[in-house]
Amino acid sequence: MIAITPAGWYDWARRGILADTPPMTALQPLLTRAREAGIGLVGMKAGRHLTGRRFLGLGNARAFDAHYDEGLLRAKLSPHQRSYAYVLEHGLDVVNADMQSFEHLRENALAAATSKSYFA
């Protein structure tokens, strides 16, 4: 699994976006090469930065908005759903989504099932 977000690589040690990371769109050649080599791409931490943890400080639900087009921003999706749909449509095969309730499971399944409809 790779720790990736719409903004680029996620630094688990710092609990944030890796300093000077390119956004996910700039990582497309690398992700494409991996896929062409037969490597399945599983993303993790695609939404962790949005929520954070109480003991580490809360996250920023709008952290990735600058990476989204107007259509995705207007979509009736939660910040996590936007993030998951985005990474699925920008090079990942699956995302290891953060879930803490059945409602999260429902939201994540909806984001994965409809992600293609938000990108042309």
Q: What is the pLDDT of residues 59-72, one digit of tens each?
A: 788 989 999 999 99
pLDDT band for 32, please (50, 70, 90 cuts): very high
Q: Indicate whether 34 pLDDT > 90.
A: yes
Q: How many domains does the chain have?
A: 1
pTM value?
Answer: 0.87
Query: Which residue range forms the structural domain that includes residue 38?
Result: 2-118
47 vs 64, which has greater pLDDT? 64
Q: What is the pLDDT of residues 97-119, one digit of tens each?
A: 777 788 888 988 999 999 999 88
55 is written with which tokens?
A: 């003991």
Measure Cα distances from 91 to 5, 54, 59, 60, 120 in Å: 11, 31, 24, 24, 14
Sheet hosting strand 42-44, strand order edge to edge: 16-17, 8-11, 2-5, 42-44, 94-96
Q: Indicate whether 7 pLDDT > 90.
A: yes
10 is written with which tokens?
A: 């996620």
What's the mean pLDDT when you consider all of the chain? 87
